[in-house]
Amino acid sequence: MTSADEQGLIGGFHAVMSAIEKDRGLARIWLASGRRDGRADALRAAAADRGIEIVSADMAALDAMLADVRHQGCIAERALAREKRESDLPDLLAAAERPWVLALDQVQDPHNLGACLRSAAAAGVTAVIAPRKRAAGLTAAVRKVAAGAAERIAFVPVTNLTRAIARLQDEGFWAVGLDGTAERSIYDSDLPERLVLVAGGEEKGIRALTARQCDALVSIPMAGDIESLNVSVATGVALFEALRQRRLATQG
């Protein structure tokens, strides 16, 4: 049975209005036929401002859509995130005022990918690139963990990650890889404005070929006998250090 999360459905006036106000990328809203009251009128007005389609449906149909949710005669459908094409990447970066990229080298756990996408969206990353093969894709499980972030950031599977990084370097980006064995700490490094932050997979980190393509390798210093962080945690730490430096650069 397909769950409401997998369908991208939200039930209830408060939840739907919140999704509209936070611009969660709704595709359409179903309202119970004949519903005319203050809450319904306010929702119609808010949806119209966002250009979201309103569809009338009887309560039986709405109950069938969300059988286990108290939907109050109001259900919204999120426009689920779709993977971008590799050929879209140059235009995505050109449209950004201060573009930067997160590259994930064979992250295979959907929960880790979802967490990385959430951190990347929160940090303002322009796009996330990852290999098309031997890596997690944009599945329902990933979208659930990302908690809306998958709809806010471009996820771009690429045929060959090393070549994709090389093309970005040709466009003036600098690739900095996270490597637990690197002598230089990320906190002692001046991260470039046009940054490709490269993080590795769950088992072995970034591959040797990917590491050789990087302009620099940095580590996150550990206290005590902890050897490494989970890839999604390490990626979040590194992204927000990069964001801190980017903000300082604008202030200077």
Closest CA to 52 of 43, 61, 60: 43
pTM over 0.85: no
CA–CA separation, 67 and 80 (whole Å): 21
What was the pLDDT predicted at 252? Answer: 61
CA–CA separation, 84 and 63 (whole Å): 34
51-74 pLDDT tens trace: 899 999 999 999 998 888 889 999
**Quick one: three-class SS letters along 135-149?**
CCCCCHHHHHHHCCH
220-249 CB burial, b ≥16 within 10 A, e <16:
beeeeeeeebebbebbbbbbebbbebbeee
Mean pLDDT of the chain: 89
CA–CA separation, 75 and 8 (whole Å): 10
Contact predicate 162/131, CB 8 Å? no
CA–CA separation, 217 and 252 (whole Å): 26
Contact predicate 77/26, CB 8 Å? yes
According to DSSP, the β-strands at 127-131 and 154-158 are: parallel
CA 197 to chain CA centroid, Å, is 15
141-190 pLDDT tens trace: 887 788 778 878 999 999 999 999 999 999 999 999 999 889 999 999 99
**Quick one: three-class SS letters along 72-130?**
CCEEEEECCCCCCCHHHHHHHHHHCCCCCEEEEECCCCHHHHHHHHHHHHHHCCCEEEE
